[in-house]
Amino acid sequence: MTHAQESARKDMTKKSTTERYTLADLEKWREVTDDVDPPIRLGIFGDPVAHSLSPHMQNAVLRACKIDMQYARFHIRANELRSALRFLRELDFIGVNLTVPHKIAAFAQIDEADKFTSHAEAVNTIRLRDKELIASNTDGEGFLRAIRSEFSVDVRDLRVMILGAGGGTGHAIAWQCALENCERLVLVNRTLEKANALVERLRASFAGPRVLGPLARLEAVPWDEAVLRAQLADIDLLVNATPLGMNPSDFSPVPARLLAPHHMVFDAVYG
């Protein structure tokens, strides 16, 4: 490969790292990407998706490993997911990641899922196998590793509160907490019915004896400052699983005045 060709490939990779494709692009994918080199065979579906750092991270790894393909952003709205996945089955893709708002909705569209994903009923990774969509979810394991790495503690020893428990990330982290048999789990969601529904699915995992006196090991509570203040007195780890933080102008999901020195905080949002 000549220097000019290598420079052109680098420019194309840089473009794919910043460009956002759409459902309309997927429909005419071969035509749209005919001159793209190396080919785009990986990506992330979301709405919004411009904030995602995944292309920067994934393309850096692909280049370092000398893997001849690219990873790109796809702006796919909620009502476009079914069509996007249908197009994906017919294209030369290896797979995609999913972010807001697709993680729960995608579960109904896949052909096969691993055990954890089936429990969580939320998907953040889809790979293609003979035109079938094979789902997995790395949110729970990623959360677990981050807590061990940053705080040198195991989730099983913690009392955990999850903000935004009704979303896909919240589902995955809640199930990971259940699998780790954490001491206590409090689910918070603006739509309380969603948190209550998740509590019912998790209840069997928290059927053991209470070790915290009269406190329930598992419960859903409304998103109310007075309620949060009371609950946080018996919480070690606070998890933000809401989309708040994607935009620099977003307000904090919890007022700083409610946090105490002993609280650990895990923010699932990056950008």
Closest C-alpha to 155, from 267, 235, 81: 235
- Is the pLDDT at 46 greater than 70? The verdict is yes
Instruction: Give the span between the Cα atoms of 1 and 158, in whole angstroms.
Output: 55
Q: What is the mean pLDDT of the chain?
A: 92
| pLDDT score, position 10 | 53
CA 53, 120, 213: angle at the middle one, nearest 5?
110
| pLDDT score, position 248 | 74
Instruction: Give the span between the Cα atoms of 128 and 143, in whole angstroms.
Output: 25
Instruction: Give the span between the Cα atoms of 46 and 271, in whole angstroms.
Output: 14
C-alpha count within 13 angstroms, C-beta hemisphere, residue 179: 15
| pLDDT score, position 51 | 85
- The owner of tokens 């896949």 is 110
Q: pLDDT tens-digit profile of 112-164?
A: 999 999 999 999 999 999 999 999 999 999 999 999 999 999 999 999 999 99
| pLDDT score, position 211 | 66
Instruction: Give the span between the Cα atoms of 256 and 268, in whole angstroms.
Output: 18
**Active-site pick, 14, 28, 66, 103:** 103
Instruction: Give the span between the Cα atoms of 242 and 255, in whole angstroms.
Output: 15
> Which one-letter DSSP state was computed for residue 203?
G
3-137 has which fold? Rossmann fold (3.40.50)
Stretch 19-42: mean pLDDT, rounded? 96
Instruction: Give the span between the Cα atoms of 191 and 194, in whole angstroms.
Output: 6
| pLDDT score, position 249 | 74
Q: Where in the chain is the domain with CATH 3.40.50.720?
A: 140-267
| pLDDT score, position 214 | 75
**Structurally, what CATH architecture does the domain formed by 140-267 represent?**
3-Layer(aba) Sandwich (3.40)
Query: CB burial class (10 A; 0-12, 13-18, 19+) of residue 270?
Result: exposed
- pLDDT tier at 75, thresholds 50, 70, 90: very high
- Is the pLDDT at 8 greater than 70? The verdict is no
Stretch 90-106: mean pLDDT, rounded? 97
CA 170, 113, 41: angle at the middle one, nearest 5?
90
Task: Report the percent of the chain where pLDDT is more than 70.
Answer: 91
Q: Where in the chain is the domain with CATH 3.40.50.10860?
A: 3-137
- Is the pLDDT at 9 greater than 80? The verdict is no
The answer to whether residue 103 is catalytic is yes
- Is the pLDDT at 4 greater than 50? The verdict is no
- Is the pLDDT at 7 greater than 80? The verdict is no
| pLDDT score, position 156 | 95
Task: Report the percent of the chain where pLDDT is more than 90.
Answer: 83
The per-type count for the chain, helices as H runs and strands as E runs, is 10, 12
- pLDDT tier at 2, thresholds 50, 70, 90: low
Q: pLDDT tens-digit profile of 187-222?
A: 999 999 999 999 999 999 998 766 666 789 999 999
Q: One-letter amino acid identity for 65?
A: C
Entry pTM: 0.90
CB neighbours of residue 1 within 10 Å: 8
